[in-house]
Amino acid sequence: MLFISDNKVHIDTTKYQSFKKVQLSRANVFFKRFVTVLFLLLMVILFLPWTQNIRATGVITTLTPEQRPQTIHATIAGRIEKWYVREGQLAKKGDTIVFLSEIKTEYFDPELLSRTQAQVQAKSGSVLSYTAKVKALEEQIRQFKQELRFKKDQLTNKMAQTKLKSEAEKLEIQAAKIALDNEQIQLERTEALFKKGLKSLTDVENKRAKFQESQAKWTSSERKYQQSLQEIDNLTSQLSSADSEYAGKIAKTESEKQTTLSDKFAAEGDVQKLSNLYSNYTLRSQFYYITAPRDCYITKATKGGLGETVKEGEAIVSIVPARMDLAVEMYIKPMDLPLVRLGAPVRFIFDGWPAFVFSGWSDLSIGTYSGNVYAIDNVANEKGKYRLIVAPDPAQAKWPEALRPGSGANGIALLQEVPIWYELWRQLNGFPPDFYTDLKGKTEEKKNK
């Protein structure tokens, strides 16, 4: 038909079977539209945001070591006499858990503390006695020194007096010598006159008697002077011997003082040893009662019954703190370590709590709990993985109260947000997640500055 005429011809296609056979069916039209819509929908989905993540398994632990389950050990060896708690019971800090009795023979004496204290007091009395003796010896040394000083002063004064006396006697000798010379001259003159008949024999004898008397006085003065000189020599010797005499006495007393000081120091050492022993006995008596170190639950008694003996440092009971700040301990591969930073968000699926997870759309996940990276180990473990400690996020929903240390947890560490097409392209090519965004942002900030 050449369409050269304005008259249109209407053909009813329903009357002819050939038209029905070449015409498309409704199912084909619906499928075409469905494929078109699906393609458009997939294109839209490819541009939706996707949160890159790292998956790792872990276990629940506590944020601080002091809140983790622990065992209480016996400080001393003993025999179990009485239990004050039962398993599963809540014990307050300081509550008695078990009482032990002594099994070592050297501690059996019930009066051990009082007897040891008496020994300490006795030794302390010895120290006081030695101290008093040292003071007495020091006083004796002081008296010796004072006595030596007085004696030397006395001898010095006596020597000065003797010297003055010797000077006087020396003058007396000179006077006696002059008198003797005069008497000798008079005697010679009288004898000469007697020979001439001018003096009588009586006068000669009188002069001779006076001469002899003067001679005796001169001799006596000489002897007294010699005695004074000898006395001065004796006093000089006494002064020298006084220093030696009292030096020996002082040295002997000083030796006794040092011996007493040595005994005193030995006694003080014994006092310290006995005091230390008394303190050890006192502290040991406190270890008979094993108490709770904090508010805790009694989980398991490793030693049961009564009369059972325990060794020093042996575990008696296991406890769990009543209050625990929970955290998750998870391990990541070394290739994922550069992707994690402190404070990075992490999502958890805890064992026993149902969850519906969209790994790339964390906001749409149901039953997951939030946390932040609290600590990162700097050294890999024996399996070549690095440990992360993840604490609860205070801004998000609280973790279940029924969680206990040791339960399992599946962690999803959230990284950068990228389009889905980019994540598919990265996964197909085996590229690492995009963790350079922060570095690019910092570079741009530096350029803007």
| Residue 443 confidence (pLDDT) | 38
Mean pLDDT of 98-112: 87
Q: Dump pLDDT digits (tens) for 373-404.
A: 899 888 888 888 889 999 998 888 888 888 88
User: Per-residue confidence at 144, pLDDT binned at 50, 70, 90?
Assistant: confident
In three state form, how does the secondary structure of the chain look? CCCCCCCCCCCCHHHCHHHHHHCCCHHHHHHHHHHHHHHHHHHHHHCCEEEEEEEEEEEEEECCHHHCCEEEECCCCEEEEEECCCCCCEECCCCEEEEEEECCHHHCCCCHHHHHHHHHHHHHHHHHHHHHHHHHHHHHHHHHHHHHHHHHHHHHHHHHHHHHHHHHHHHHHHHHHHHHHHHHHHHHHHHHHHHHCCCCHHHHHHHHHHHHHHHHHHHHHHHHHHHHHHHHHHHHHHHHHHHHHHHHHHHHHHHHHHHHHHHHHHHHHHHHHHHHHHHHHHHHHHCCEEECCCCEEEEEECCCCCCCEECCCCEEEEEEECCCCEEEEEEECHHHHHHCCCCCEEEEEECCCCCECCCCCHHHCECCEEEEEEEECCCCCCCCCEEEEEEECCCCCCCCCCCCCCCEEEEEEEEEEEEHHHHHHHHHHCCCCCCCHHHHHHHHHHHHC
| Residue 355 confidence (pLDDT) | 58
Mean per-residue pLDDT over the chain, rounded: 79
Which of 79-83, 103-107, 212-216 reaches the highest mean pLDDT? Answer: 79-83
| Residue 10 confidence (pLDDT) | 61
The answer to whether the predicted template modeling score (pTM) of the entire model surpasses 0.85 is no
Whether residue 166 is predicted with pLDDT greater than 50 in this model: the reply is: yes
Whether residue 411 is predicted with pLDDT greater than 80 in this model: the reply is: no
Domains assigned to the chain: 49-66+324-444 (2.40.30.170), 69-95+292-321 (2.40.50.100), 112-286 (1.10.287)
Q: Dump pLDDT digits (tens) for 5-44.
A: 565 556 665 666 665 665 555 666 677 777 788 888 877 7
Q: Which range has the worst mean pLDDT, 129-138, 222-231, 355-364?
A: 355-364
Q: Dump pLDDT digits (tens) for 40-67.
A: 887 776 666 766 666 778 888 888 888 8
User: Per-residue confidence at 228, pLDDT binned at 50, 70, 90?
Assistant: confident
Q: Dump pLDDT digits (tens) for 237-281.
A: 877 787 888 888 888 889 998 999 999 999 999 999 999 998 988
